[in-house]
Structure 1
Amino acid sequence: MIHSLLKIFKAFVLINLILMSSTYAQSLKHPVIWVTEEEREGILENIEKYDWAKDILDQLHERVDSKLKLHLKDPNVILNTIPDFAKHDRENSEQKAGPLAAGHNKVLALASEAGMLYYLTQDETYAQFAADILGYYIDVLAPKTPQTTTICGYEFFDPRTTYGPFALTYDFIYNYLKQPNATVFNKQKGIRVPFDNAKAQKAMANVAGNVLQEYGKPDQHGKTISNHPILTASGALFSILCIENDAERNRLFHVFWEKGTAHQNSFKNTILPMFGEQGIWPESTSYSFMPIITMTLNIVDRVYPEMDVTKDYQHILYGNFLFDYLRHPNRKFVRFGDSKRNNDGTEDLYRYTLSIAERRGYSDLKLKAQMALKQAYEAKGGYKPKLDDGIFNNFQPLDLFWGQPIPDKIEKGINFNKPTVLVKHAGIALQRNLTETANELYGLTGIIGGAHYVHSHLTGISMELYGAGYIMAPNAGLPTSVKERQIPLHENYFRLYAGNNTVIVNGTSHGLDEGSWKGDAYVWQNTTKNIAAEPKHLEDPVSENFSFATQFLEDEVNHCNQQRTLSIIRTGEKSAYYLDVFRSKSLGENKFHDYIYHNIGDETIIKNEKGNTLNLKQTDRYKNDIGDPVQSPGWRYFENTQVTEPIKEGVKVTFKINFDKGYMHMFVPKGVTRAYTKGLTPATREAENGYVNKKTQLIAIRQTGEAWDKPFISIFEPSLNSESSIQSVESLMDGDKIVGAKVISKVEKITITDYIISQDISNATYQNKALNLSFEGRFAIVRVEASKGEKKVSLYIGDGKKLNFEGFKLESNHQNKGFKVF
């Protein structure tokens, strides 16, 4: 009995000793956030062996050494450049906080980079330089509370700009600071004073507490959030990992990872669940990269390997590769929602993924990341890392600390040029057809779709087209500055229907404010869904010349249904065209439909099918709105609008690009009475060759009544020639219903006739006795190539069962697709 009690007592004492150790001891070794001391040797080997690693080290020296020399002569020189501090974290607006954050970030980044050089060189001069800057900030931040802690006066900026390098500096020079004789320069006293680590810990706790805001409202796990807590995550995590007290550090990490707050939502239970099956952050193109997610997973996995956090998030790591499928032939990204074409986070995603895969032994991910990086480097002429002064989440030195050599030879690559790519949360379907000859000029890429998500626009089923070296028909995108996002031009035009290439129903297409990602934006809409495509998402095509995708929108806001089919049809190495079939019908009264199309350029010419230029007269039919706060549908911004008389003839529209003599040839077949308006709209964002400063060309086509059985059919051929290779376009009819188009092209000495059948349901049937043509299904193409009395027939089924033409027959496979040449 006594023996048992003694064992219990000893166990009780042991447990208490462990608890006391956990409460008061510092078990985490520094540095820890990005690297450990054990990894230093491997990094130095990379510097010795590889130019890219040595180059980053050289850049660190270039950025730090000259400032260090000034500091050694007079510590006040650098410390005098530190701006004033704000009084609290909601003192400044985004615009006012920006310059202040930039000023502080410049000094703190210098300190953190000096800390990195101390880690790499073990030269204590760098550590002392970093410590002197750090000490200045500690003196300001330590007396505060989490509620009053701030640097730039804006709670959304400090965690993204200043808190990160503050924590990194402490982490890199921690062992130097813990020496008994460590000192820092006190600017106020003008002398060196002993480094006060207790004060440093208080400052770090204030920083972590300010980001987490435990004093605010609790998190609601599973709610839909914006990207804000991702962007601020590094400011929280870095500072938490600098807390010495094991119990408090683990408690704060639990808040960061598991519990969350309304300001810094739980990474595990709120942020990560928002990633859908495709593994990408569900926002607009350039907002979706979110390399901080993969970086955070990597850091947490390194510090807490027992959690094995990457195991359950493989879909996110594989999702990192989706973005490279979303490039136009000029390598600019397609644009949907608030997005910029030139923002590119792919390489960071691949490097972070490679770091995880290498450590965890994910062989497939490792190979894929290596292949993707190799292709990225080759596309831009090699890997030439460049450190810059960007203030937001600037983690470029990670290229050195996590960077790994890529094998000179990798057996295979990744084909990022798949014909069909779907982005489900955005309702987007991409179509692509590239060429081996001058692909930037002759390759085509287009997207159709629309949905509501954070940073979405209200577009219905919008379209963007590339050709002849330009994004010819652009989606609206994002302005250059934050300030411009609030002006009416963005909120009342670019963000709405009229600022995009879409169809407006009864002049009243609009969105809802309730549920919108931004207050008073009125951009909520239903999600467009893919209902058919050949090839399917990331699959190989059955034909190198044909592909299609069909998107459907059940628009509950505007009480209408819309369906859009985009097909790319190649006729030669240097010639191809788009087929756009847009069906739309109100479920109430069908007054009229407007097909809106923007094209960059200098001139728009409208001719009838006989080649005669149509007469135009001024019109104010688009100088109106529905009276909501954002002036939906947004077409008040159309300028100099001139309209034709309603005509039933076929129409050819030519958009001229004078800079390098490019053209977009647009054909609309005859058979439906329509009025054509040409005009100008605000300049296209991110357009090249000066078109960013020129008004964008506009065509608006008004059709009375429904546009479902009589859909808008447009053929677009981008070209370097003033004359199109397309000779004629006419509708394919099934009684009074339009089911496709006949397109005749002349390419070199070959006459190509394409009979394109695009029906609204998958089990439709079509018979044309005059052509001896029949089809069961949604989408098919019959191609007849004639030259010198010889004829070649190609039959393509994109979605269907049987296709017959002049005795030639094709039956689809089990996936309802097929292709055969006769």
Structure 2
Amino acid sequence: MIRRFNILIYSICFVMSIGMYAQKMQRPFIWVDQHDKAEILHKIKSQAWATTFYKSFKERTDHDLAQYSESPEQFLKKIPFDWDKQRKGQTPPLKQFVRFNDQNAEERFALKKTLQIGVDCGVLYFLTEDEKYAQCALDILHAFVEGISQLKPSDNTGNGGWVYPNDHLREARVIGAQMPIIYDFVASYIDIGKKAYDLGKKTKVNFSKEKAQELFKTYARLAIEHGHRGSNWPVLESFSLVGNALAVDDLEERKKLLNFYLYESSDKQDALPDVAIKYKKDGDVFPETSQYSNGVANYTTRLMILLNKYDAGLRLGSRYYKIPFSLDRWKSVRYPNGEIIRFGDGKRTFKTPYSAYEMAYALGVQDSVSKLTEKFGALLNEAISTGSYDPSHLGKRTTSAQPYWEPTRLLWLNSIPKYAYEHVELPRTDEFTHAGVFLQRNLGTAKNPKHALMCFVGGGHMVHGHASGMDMELYGLGEVLGVDNGRGSYRKDIHENYSRIFAAHNTVIVNGASQGEGGWVNLGMNSTKLLAMEPHPMQEARSPWHSFTTTRFTDDRGEKAEATQERTMAIVKTSETTGYYLDVFRSKSSLPNEFHDYLYHNIGDQLVFLNKDLKLKVDKERYQANTNIEWKQNRSYRNPGWHFFKNVQTSEPYKKDVKVQFKIKGIKKKEGSMNLFIVGNDDREYTKVMAPKTYEAPKPYGNKLTPTLVIRQQGEAWSNPFAVVYEPTFEKDAAAGVQSVKELEQDGVFKGFKVSSRINGKDITQFCVIQNDDEQYVNKEYGFSFQGHFAIITIDTANKLQDVYIGEGYLLTYKKLKVMASDSKSIKAFIDFSLPKYKMNATQNTKVDIDSE
């Protein structure tokens, strides 16, 4: 009922807009119309950035035009035609590209470049009325119309194309999106009887509008009928759908085609309302990985501007402002070195999309949306003032699979007035719930990236997601050290059978059988769920030194894992330059004969066990059971992927505490290490391996194998979980930082860590208690107790209390101190006793009793 009601409302809006549609008959009108020309020309004369941009743009196009003018025939022959299939006296059909490889890369680039030259010539014809630009654009358009019209589009509705028979998703962006723009700019030139140069007849001929119109309708139809819904796919096709719909001259046909973008989805194509529904509140992102998510917002913002120009009554920016509003959201998950957290097929590097910011600002101006103009106007002002961004810079013609829109900056953007820019610190914690991501960061007061700490726990199913389990990454020494493998080229063995499944992630594999199942390309899994966190995402922290998350994950895909898992991760800063991470991973299976493997990948040169009595032996068969099972691309995998591990060496069962060091010799021009202090347990085996290289790792580690630790627990890992303290450090001889780690336990059950550190020449001890929310831990030796989930007590060598942090709890006592809840709700508190009078930051229901001594 709701869906039908929405369609009715959209239909009413659609009917009301018919009058405006009818006015848009004189071309051009897709990017610009004749009413825009005077303003654009004035801008070129009066605004310095536009003057510079236009000069570069015209010089580049004139260089191409000179080559064309010298010999239109030789210029057009650079287009990849299939000359073997040429009929006498006709332009040859275009070559079809079934595969994409280095052998045909040059031809494919020539195809893209020629179309982009055609667009640029069309723009310059509009601005200068110089017919030499129109003739070049028309000749390019004619060659493509004639060359494509002789081909048969694929009937494969999955991803069937025309020039790219197996990849309409790519073709829609590199061909389908450009041709209607060229037509729109030269249609008036055609209408006055101008002819196009024909390669087959070697003379000028009448341009076939009939073939062109059929081509535009076909490209629109391919977008509507091919592909799939629910991902970024329909958005990537939408430039072709909308552009080709607008290129159709028949008004009724045009309206029918536009309806599939503006109002009502097809079985294969999401309309704008179904894309917009993903953005429920300000700051929401499209639920995919970084570059794909932002690509959706970027594409959609530009299309809204374009369609508003066609019909000002649509006011799409007002209705769907949350889409462009999301464009800067990914910067909030940057590590201190500027890279971003990585999950799924997301990239580590993430260049600030200033050109997309421009479009968000332009849309805000177009529809008077102050949320957009104020936000992106300020961001662009700041970027221009700091030299991070130069609007006068002409971008390169694109070789990637995206529409060509570089000239729209000149056509759509004006000088940006001054907006107040307020620098906002990134929050201590954040969340991306669609990916099950919960992150923590602590930059310290000095904000030095080399000494900052940041981590996240994540895991969730989405398009372009990985079957990662409950994954994590760790930052230290100015780089991401505890790494997710990332992704290389799609479709390859290592991507399908390692990068996108469990073994490539810092997670726990259960019974050697953890896997994805169902959902997108059969990589479906449950999402990591938040149980407890301090501070809550985007909220003020209680402590300047501490934070934590506890998350839960169900590993139940396939039939052999059937596990419940919980993970508590914490950041503990002990000074501006020192600190560590806590990781407590609990895992238990409902199946008999269970075992659990804890994986941790760290860039570096060497993994070393510092326990002299822990002996390793070569173990070539340990991870090879699934090496040759059936693999079907995007369907079934060689789970869990650890058959890619090399140089496998394993210990006998070893129950003592273990210290491990990842040596990192070439980072920030200094030697450093990631030190691991691992709480021991019965029935533990330790393995070191070399995992495949980590994509986008810092030099020199981008081409090196990744040292990786695997800890196997025979039996459950719940009452005595995997419990590790991670310390990134530049110290070579442990002169500062963590000195030792001991287990806190009660009745044989793990309760936390006792961490001893040396900070600025002084020793401190921290008791980190991690248990179920309703449990109580009592330590008679040091005279403290805690009821609740997470707390840290810091004392000096004289057992004098330095501070207390309660992430979530009800009652903490230390000697004569009592911190408690005044009601039945839990408390969160940080109390600093290092000052003459203690200082407290706590929830209102926190009560403190302390002896006057």
TM-score class, shorter-chain normalisation, is: 0.7 to 0.9
1:146–1:590 CA distance, 2 compared to 1 (3 A): closer
Shift of 1:52: 4.5
Shift of 1:454: 1.2
The answer on 1:251 being equivalent to 2:264 is no
Query: Which blocks of at least 5 consecutive residues in structure 1 are unaligned?
Result: 1-17
Any residues of structure 2 matched to 1:537-616 within 5 Å, and which? Answer: 537-557=537-557, 558-589=561-592, 591-608=594-611, 612=612, 614-616=614-616
1:335–1:733 CA distance, 2 compared to 1 (3 A): same
Q: What is residue 785 of structure 2 aligned with on the other side?
A: 774
Query: Which blocks of at least 5 consecutive residues in structure 2 are unaligned?
Result: 1-14, 83-91, 156-160, 632-636, 834-853
Paired residue for 1:422, among 428, 431, 434? Answer: 431
Any residues of structure 2 matched to 1:23-422 within 5 Å, and which? Answer: 27-44=24-41, 46-48=43-45, 52-84=49-81, 92-95=98-101, 100-141=107-148, 150-153=162-165, 154-178=167-191, 180-213=192-225, 225-263=230-268, 265-268=269-272, 270-275=274-279, 279-289=284-294, 290=296, 291-344=298-351, 346-374=353-381, 381-383=388-390, 385=393, 386-393=395-402, 394-407=404-417, 410-415=420-425, 417-422=426-431
Kept in 2: contact 1:496–1:634 (CA 8 A): yes
Which one is further off, 500-509 or 439-448?
439-448
Q: What is residue 741 of structure 2 aligned with on the other side?
A: 729
CA distance in 2, matches of 1:146, 1:487: 27
Tell me the SS of whatever aligns to 1:486. coil
1:793–1:438 CA distance, 2 compared to 1 (3 A): closer
Shift of 1:306: 2.6
Q: What is residue 783 of structure 1 aligned with on the other side?
A: 794
Equivalent residue letter for 1:566: M
Q: What is residue 818 of structure 1 aligned with on the other side?
A: 829
Shift of 1:343: 4.7
Equivalent residue letter for 1:159: A
Equivalent residue letter for 2:459: G
CA distance in 1, matches of 2:509, 2:779: 32
The answer on 1:448 being equivalent to 2:451 is no
1:533–1:46 CA distance, 2 compared to 1 (3 A): farther
When normalised by structure 2's length, the TM-score is 0.84
Spell out, residue by residue over 1:249-269, the C-alpha distance to the aligned partner (whole angstroms, 9 max, x if none). Answer: 111111333344344x13135
Equivalent residue letter for 1:718: P
Spell out, residue by residue over 1:768-794, the C-alpha distance to the aligned partner (whole angstroms, 9 max, x if none). Answer: 3333323333222223356xx795622
Kept in 2: contact 1:146–1:205 (CA 8 A): no
1:487–1:193 CA distance, 2 compared to 1 (3 A): closer
Kept in 2: contact 1:323–1:346 (CA 8 A): no
Kept in 2: contact 1:473–1:597 (CA 8 A): yes
Shift of 1:475: 0.9
1:87–1:79 CA distance, 2 compared to 1 (3 A): closer
Shift of 1:378: 6.9
Tell me the SS of whatever aligns to 1:817. strand
Kept in 1: contact 2:810–2:827 (CA 8 A): yes
CA distance in 2, matches of 1:90, 1:261: 27
CA distance in 2, matches of 1:49, 1:77: 39
CA distance in 2, matches of 1:755, 1:600: 30
Kept in 1: contact 2:378–2:419 (CA 8 A): no
Shift of 1:560: 1.0
Q: What is residue 839 of structure 2 aligned with on the other side?
A: none
1:285–1:381 CA distance, 2 compared to 1 (3 A): closer
CA distance in 1, matches of 2:826, 2:413: 43
Kept in 2: contact 1:279–1:317 (CA 8 A): no
1:273–1:338 CA distance, 2 compared to 1 (3 A): same
CA distance in 1, matches of 2:610, 2:817: 37
Shift of 1:595: 0.9
Tell me the SS of whatever aligns to 1:685. coil
1:117–1:577 CA distance, 2 compared to 1 (3 A): farther
CA distance in 2, matches of 1:648, 1:380: 57
CA distance in 2, matches of 1:130, 1:563: 61
1:34–1:805 CA distance, 2 compared to 1 (3 A): farther
Equivalent residue letter for 2:221: G
Q: What is residue 10 of structure 1 aligned with on the other side?
A: none
Tell me the SS of whatever aligns to 1:292. helix
Shift of 1:733: 2.0
1:466–1:507 CA distance, 2 compared to 1 (3 A): same
The two structures, once aligned, show a CA RMSD in angstroms of 3.2
Shift of 1:410: 2.0
1:27–1:50 CA distance, 2 compared to 1 (3 A): closer
CA distance in 2, matches of 1:811, 1:89: 76
Equivalent residue letter for 2:662: F
Q: What is residue 676 of structure 1 aligned with on the other side?
A: 686
The answer on 1:799 being equivalent to 2:808 is yes
Identity %: 31
The answer on 1:709 being equivalent to 2:734 is no
1:378–1:508 CA distance, 2 compared to 1 (3 A): farther
Which one is further off, 771-780 or 400-409?
400-409
Equivalent residue letter for 2:698: E
Count how many residue pairs are aligned between Structure 1 and Structure 2: 779
Shift of 1:532: 1.8
1:409–1:275 CA distance, 2 compared to 1 (3 A): closer
CA distance in 2, matches of 1:566, 1:448: 8
Q: What is residue 11 of structure 1 aligned with on the other side?
A: none
1:342–1:59 CA distance, 2 compared to 1 (3 A): farther
Kept in 1: contact 2:774–2:789 (CA 8 A): yes
Tell me the SS of whatever aligns to 2:184. helix
CA distance in 2, matches of 1:368, 1:246: 38
1:91–1:134 CA distance, 2 compared to 1 (3 A): closer
Q: What is residue 710 of structure 2 aligned with on the other side?
A: 700
When normalised by structure 1's length, the TM-score is 0.87
1:731–1:31 CA distance, 2 compared to 1 (3 A): farther
Shift of 1:107: 0.3
Shift of 1:382: 3.7
1:588–1:227 CA distance, 2 compared to 1 (3 A): same
CA distance in 1, matches of 2:414, 2:613: 61
Equivalent residue letter for 1:733: E
Kept in 1: contact 2:690–2:707 (CA 8 A): yes
CA distance in 1, matches of 2:303, 2:121: 23
1:307–1:430 CA distance, 2 compared to 1 (3 A): same
Which one is further off, 317-326 or 86-95?
86-95
Shift of 1:719: 2.0
Shift of 1:506: 2.2
